[in-house]
């Protein structure tokens, strides 16, 4: 429910409530299992699973959020409007949780994960739907000021090897110098 800034020199902290934002904007920021990537002074967060009050249900959010980290810190420290620190883009392309968000060269990649909807278990009876992405989704981001757009590339699908979530994926350099992405584990293959 809060964004917290911690001063690691003395472990003091300040916070600002997400309640100052409309719930449609704040709910994705309260979610769990988001995909995220920091690039210089920007933080990109995609998807995530949480409660959507407009649908009165638990969903995987179709949202990409771009935070300007210095602006976010200043908003927290000075109690400025938080809405000036970030911009969101709603697009079903980002309806994924439990995957990884990476960048290689000029392309971003949503790797693996799933779209989970409903309650995980209620009275030991599952009441949900779950759709694995079975894919790696390349895309490019254009962001200037408060404009945030994407251009999706060709999605790589593989129901045998890409049927994974809750895993580690990282940038990797092969012995010949080739840059690539490497997957480590994940459930459930």
Question: Is the CB of residue 72 less than 8 Å from the CB of residue 6?
Answer: no
- b (16+ CB within 10 A) / e for 72-87: bbebbeeeeebeebbb
Task: State how far the alpha carbon of 181 is from the alpha carbons of 8, 45, 137, 162, 168, in Å.
Answer: 32, 19, 13, 13, 10
pLDDT tens digit string along 100-128? Answer: 999 999 999 999 999 999 987 766 676 88
**189 has pLDDT over 60:** no
Could you list the beta-strand ranges (E) of 96-134.
Answer: 100-104, 107-111, 114-122, 125-132
pLDDT tens digit string along 25-71? Answer: 999 999 999 999 999 999 999 999 999 998 999 999 999 999 999 99
**186 has pLDDT over 80:** no
Average pLDDT over residues 116-144: 87
**24 has pLDDT over 70:** yes
């Amino acid at each position: 429910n809060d964004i917290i800034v911690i001063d690691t020199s003395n472990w003091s902290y300040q916070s600002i409530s997400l309640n100052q934002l409309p719930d449609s904007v704040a709910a994705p920021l309260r979610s769990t299992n988001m995909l995220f990537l920091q690039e210089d002074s920007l933080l990109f967060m995609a998807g995530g699973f949480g409660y959507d009050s407009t649908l009165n249900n638990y969903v995987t959010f179709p949202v990409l959020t771009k935070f300007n980290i210095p602006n976010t810190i200043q908003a927290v420290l000075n109690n400025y409007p938080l809405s000036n620190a970030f911009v969101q883009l709603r697009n079903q392309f980002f309806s994924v949780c439990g995957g990884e968000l990476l960048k290689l060269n000029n392309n971003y990649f949503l790797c693996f994960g799933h779209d989970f909807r409903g309650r995980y278990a209620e009275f030991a009876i599952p009441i949900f739907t779950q759709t694995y992405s079975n894919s790696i989704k390349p895309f490019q981001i254009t962001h200037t000021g408060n404009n945030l757009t994407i251009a999706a590339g060709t999605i790589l699908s593989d129901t045998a090897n890409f049927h994974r979530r809750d895993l580690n994926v990282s940038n990797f350099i092969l012995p010949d110098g080739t840059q690539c992405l490497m997957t480590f584990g994940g459930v459930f293959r």
